């Protein structure tokens, strides 16, 4: 028996969510307050704040699902959404790279080796698809996804993310509540939901934290505010990491 929500049911639940749910902005800013005055290095503060803010986004998605009784049908090992373009700014890219450098050595080396193989295999395709103008081309997502090039962080043998706890906002906020088959059958299924609006609370808090550090005179490996304004494909940011480390 089919127990998946229909498209109409999903739309109706989203409308209800709009009416009843209020995002608790304070949750984001409390993390900034909490880490601002801690007696630890700036690097530690940055990484901890970043990871906690990412987690708040995931928790907020879960709270919204509970509020309207929806459960994701995304399954472990299902990775069709990992073929979408992921756009992040320079600050997020540096935070991801820094966090990877704090992984246990074997995990860090595994990721670097995976990335080296990835760029050997897909360098031409990446060069081509990252020419898509994500700021001005309204179809860039469709065109990118249609090219069927996996995210650099996707292990295509296990279909799992190699840095799952660091996955950026688009990866955390794209959810399917109906038959998972739609993700296999369609390039951009209309039934899926994006909670990407949570980006503004997340980035607002992260930006406030960097502003605080900037005023204190130490933003460590972040070049503030320039890194916040520079956006690019994750596939380009991670390529830089491999080239630099080679
Ligand atoms: S970062 Fe991870 S979760 Fe996000 S698209 Fe890439 S492989 Fe998938």
H or E stretch including 121? Answer: helix 105-129
| Residue 118 CB burial class (10 angstroms; 0-12, 13-18, ≥19) | buried
Closest atom of ligand 1 to CA, residue 171:
4
Three-class DSSP category at 87: strand
How far, in Å, CA of 183 to CA of 81, rounded? 7
- Three-state SS string over 6-37 comes to CHHHHHHHHHHHHHHCCCCCHHHHHHHHHHHC
Closest atom of ligand 1 to CA, residue 86:
5
H or E stretch including 231? Answer: strand 231-233
Closest atom of ligand 1 to CA, residue 167:
1
Averaged pLDDT, groups of 10, the chain, 246 residues long: 85 96 96 96 97 98 96 88 97 97 96 96 96 97 97 96 97 94 94 95 98 97 97 94 59
Helix axes 42-67, 26-36, angle to 10 degrees: 160
Three-class DSSP category at 76: coil
Which tokens sit at 19? Answer: 């009416």
Q: How many helices (H) and strands (E) does the chain have?
A: 11, 6
Q: What is the pLDDT of residue 1?
A: 54
Q: What is the pLDDT of residue 35?
A: 97
* d(CA 115, ligand 1 centre) in Å: 13
Q: What is the pLDDT of residue 34?
A: 97
Question: What's the distance, CA 201 to chain centroid?
Answer: 14
How far, in Å, CA of 128 to CA of 47, rounded? 32
What residues are in contact with ligand 1 under a 6 Å CB criterion? 82, 86, 151, 153-154, 161, 167, 171
* d(CA 154, ligand 1 centre) in Å: 6
How far, in Å, CA of 193 to CA of 14, rounded? 9
* d(CA 68, ligand 1 centre) in Å: 26
How far, in Å, CA of 201 to CA of 20, rounded? 18
DSSP letter, residue 230: -
The protein residue with its alpha carbon nearest to ligand 1, atom 2, reads 161
Q: What is the pLDDT of residue 80?
A: 94
Q: Is the peptide bond before 232 cis (omega within 30 degrees of 0)?
A: no
* d(CA 172, ligand 1 centre) in Å: 9
The protein residue with its alpha carbon nearest to ligand 1, atom 1, reads 167
159: left (phi over 0), alpha (psi -120 to 50) or beta: left
- In the chain, where the domains are located: 7-245
Helix axes 42-67, 7-20, angle to 10 degrees: 110
The protein residue with its alpha carbon nearest to ligand 1, atom 4, reads 171
| Residue 5 CB burial class (10 angstroms; 0-12, 13-18, ≥19) | buried
């Amino acid at each position: 028996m089919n127990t998946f929500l229909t498209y109409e049911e999903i739309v109706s639940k989203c409308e209800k969510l709009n009416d009843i749910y209020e995002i608790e902005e304070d949750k984001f800013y409390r993390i900034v307050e909490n880490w601002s005055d801690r007696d630890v290095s700036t690097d530690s503060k940055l990484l901890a704040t970043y990871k906690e803010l990412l987690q708040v986004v995931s928790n907020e998605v879960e709270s919204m699902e509970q509020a309207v009784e929806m459960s994701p049908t995304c399954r472990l090992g299902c990775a069709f959404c990992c073929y979408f373009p992921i756009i992040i700014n320079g600050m997020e890219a540096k935070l991801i790279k820094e966090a990877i450098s704090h992984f246990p050595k074997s995990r860090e080396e595994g990721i670097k080796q995976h990335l080296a193989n990835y760029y050997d295999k897909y360098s031409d395709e990446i060069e081509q698809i990252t020419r898509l103008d994500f700021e001005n081309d309204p179809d860039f997502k469709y065109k990118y996804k249609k090219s069927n090039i996996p995210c650099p962080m996707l292990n295509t043998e296990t279909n799992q993310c190699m840095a799952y706890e660091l996955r950026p906002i688009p990866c955390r906020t794209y959810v399917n509540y109906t038959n998972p088959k739609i993700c296999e059958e369609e390039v951009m299924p209309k039934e899926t939901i994006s909670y990407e609006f949570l980006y503004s609370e997340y980035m607002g808090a992260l930006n406030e934290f960097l502003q605080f550090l900037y005023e204190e005179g130490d933003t460590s490996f972040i070049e503030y505010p320039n890194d916040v304004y520079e956006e690019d494909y994750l596939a380009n940011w991670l390529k830089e990491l491999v080239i630099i480390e080679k």
